[in-house]
Amino acid sequence: MKARIAIVLLVMITFLSGCPEGGIYYTLENETKTTDNTLRNDIPIHGIARLGSDYYIAAGNVWKGTLTPSPVTWDTATPITPPVGGALCTALVAFGADLYGGFITQSDTVGLHKAAGPSPTTFVGGQIADVGIKDRQVVLLAIVKSLTVPELVVSTAIVGGSPYTYDLLLSTDGAAYSSLLSTTSTKPFTGVAYTSASGGNYWAVAGSSLYSGTGVANLVSVASPTGATSSEVLTSVFSDNETSRLFVTSNLGYVYYSSNAGLSWTRNETAVKVGDTVVTFLTVAGGSGQSKMLVGSDGYGYYVLDTAASPPTLTRFSESTIGLYTASVRRFLIDGSRLFACTLKGLWRNESFNATGCTVGSWIQE
Amino acid sequence: MNKRFLSILIAAVLITSVLAPLAAQDEQDTQGKPKEPPPQYTLGDQTLSINAGLFVPLFFLTYQFAAAPTHLTIGGAGSLNWMAYVNSWLRVGIEVGGMFALSPNGNTLLSLPMTAKASYVLSAYPFEIPFSLGVGMNVVKYIDTSMVDLILKPGVSGLWAYNASWSFGLNATYWWSMQFSKTADQGRIGNFLELSLCALYHY
């Protein structure tokens, strides 16, 4: 009799111990089909930019998305003409009235090119001739706001040496570039930001190194955020100009946060894991001065970072039945209540983003 | 849409592969092959069967017995089954199976039921109708969540004896998969129907 009771208890423990909150059937019961627009879902979106009332995405080709009439429609039939046939756009920003794209080809790099606005149609003839840029592979393209003046920052690979080295260049007009570095890096730059506190500082990350400096030829490698190990790859840096907050993401499940422009750092208490896998965080975005920020991850959708908590907490986006849940979110674009998430498998859009709590409505797959 | 087409294609291939021996047997019958006497199975005789067919999601049931839609597509199911005769009309054994179906967003629901099974066999040679009940565990996986359910699988089959060793036929099996949740009102009972073709070997 005791043996039978033990068996019954064992069976019950087996079934109940495997129960997550909710349950699979409950999840299925509440699953609804995501709106899926015409843009292909299997393409990596490397970047997105808004120019005028239109959006442009880098997905190998550069395509234009028109806001009106709603919904956003993507003209994939007529891409912005690449600088040479077969060139793939891997980085894209809008700077001034123009689009800037970093292109590569299978045989050679083709560097940074401009497509003149306000309604760009071609990158042909728009090669940036600056010697620090021309014919070099663009590994990072970003806009930073230095004392409210937008600046274009480009990281290029300097091919020929062994190992390759990487430069980080700054431009105020898109034509002339100056290196921010005192010495080039052997790791590619994956993020750049600017904080206005203490006279202003540029920040950049490359491999395990955090760079900081006040301007041209001034950035040097500085101490990593408190707690970061020497082998920890710092994957991106994001700043919040109004409060001089600084965020650094890593490949070991941490987001480092500084509220005083890098003087002191805090991070989430334990590394974020899914199962046994440590989450690599890729990018941060959010409303200026907001306590909650969006954090993109590699393969686990996005998280919401709550800096009001001590230590900061990270909560994964909960809509597990849509593809965004397991996507690699590499970029966000926040445009009022409209939020775009660029992933390795397509572009996602949300029309009800609220920066205060980082809340969203229904996601649409473009 | 492509995944749905793939599901139908796989089911069609499985159906065809099981039906092929039956077609061959029809030909042999027309060639005047002498019929065998009705087989008599006794204690110690055993069977192996392979089953493959369609998985029809019916509905979910709360533990307050409110029904809700599954939102799943029709999928595929299959199983391997070993049983031993206790006497001429009762066999007991085990069954290991699997199923898949797709959600509205194209996610795949997978289940691997492992059951102890008993069959009460009604025979009218060359036909036999086993009524079965399987009880066991069902490992369910969906996206990144895995759970272990308690499962009951009542079913009935219609089999035609090709000879003393081989029988072929159809199965209709109800899956009653009880899933518990730490959140009390989110536990559900999955109600599914498996319609499959069966090839059964006596030895």
- What CATH code is carried by the domain that includes residue A257? 2.130.10.10
Question: Is A218 within the bounds of a domain?
Answer: no
A356-361 average pLDDT score: 93
Question: Is A289 within the bounds of a domain?
Answer: yes
Least confident of A21-30, A203-212, B193-202: A21-30
**Distance of residue A234 Cα from the nearest chain B Cα, in angstroms:** 27
* Structural domains in chain B (count): 1
Count other C-beta atoms under 10 Å from residue B23's C-beta.
9
Residue B151 with chain A: CB contacts under 8 Å: none
What's the pLDDT score for residue A123? Answer: 96
Question: Is A237 within the bounds of a domain?
Answer: yes
What's the pLDDT score for residue B186? Answer: 87
Whose CA is closest to A306, among A334, A272, A351? A272
Identify the domain containing residue B77 by its residue range.
Answer: 2-29+38-202
CB contact under 8 A, A321 and B107: yes
**Distance of residue A15 Cα from the nearest chain B Cα, in angstroms:** 6
H-run or E-run covering B27: helix B2-30
Q: Which tens digit of pLDDT belongs to each residue from A256-293? A: 999 998 999 999 999 999 989 999 999 999 998 899 99
Q: What is the residue-averaged pLDDT of chain A?
A: 90
pTM: 0.80
* Structural domains in chain A (count): 1
B62 touches chain A (CB under 8 A): no
CB contact under 8 A, B147 and A274: no
Residue B60 with chain A: CB contacts under 8 Å: 25-26, 28-29
Q: Which tens digit of pLDDT belongs to each residue from A242-258? A: 678 999 999 999 999 99
pLDDT class for A160, splitting at 50, 70, 90? confident
Residue A274 with chain B: CB contacts under 8 Å: 144
Chain A residue set in contact with B, beta carbons under 8 Å: 11, 14-16, 18-29, 31-34, 274-275, 320-323, 325-326
**Distance of residue B22 Cα from the nearest chain A Cα, in angstroms:** 38
pLDDT class for A11, splitting at 50, 70, 90? low
How far apart are alpha carbons A269 and A254 in whole angstroms?
8
Q: Please determine, for residue B4, whether its predicted confidence score (pLDDT) is greater than 70.
A: no
A61-66 average pLDDT score: 94
CATH code of the domain covering residue B113? 2.40.160.20
Q: Which tens digit of pLDDT belongs to each residue from B114-148? A: 999 999 999 888 899 999 999 999 999 998 889 99
What's the pLDDT score for residue A60? Answer: 93
What's the pLDDT score for residue B113? Answer: 97
Question: Is A320 within the bounds of a domain?
Answer: yes
Q: Which tens digit of pLDDT belongs to each residue from A27-48? A: 999 999 998 888 999 999 999 9
Tell me the percentage of chain A whose pLDDT exceeds 70: 92
Identify the domain containing residue A363 by its residue range.
Answer: 223-366
What's the pLDDT score for residue A198? Answer: 76
Cite the beta strand spans of chain B per DSSP E: 46-61, 67-68, 75-87, 90-102, 108-124, 127-142, 145-161, 166-179, 188-202
Question: Is A351 within the bounds of a domain?
Answer: yes
What's the pLDDT score for residue B183? Answer: 78
B24: CB partners within 8 A, 6+ apart: none
| A92, A61 contact by CB (below 8 A) | no
B75-96 average pLDDT score: 94
The interface residues of chain B toward chain A in range 98-127, judged by CB-CB distance below 8 A, are: 103-107, 109
Chain B: residue nearest A300 by CA?
B144
What's the pLDDT score for residue B25? Answer: 46
Question: Is A210 within the bounds of a domain?
Answer: no
φ and ψ at residue A55, rounded to 5 degrees: -110, 150
What's the pLDDT score for residue B101? Answer: 97
B152 touches chain A (CB under 8 A): no
What's the pLDDT score for residue B31? Answer: 55
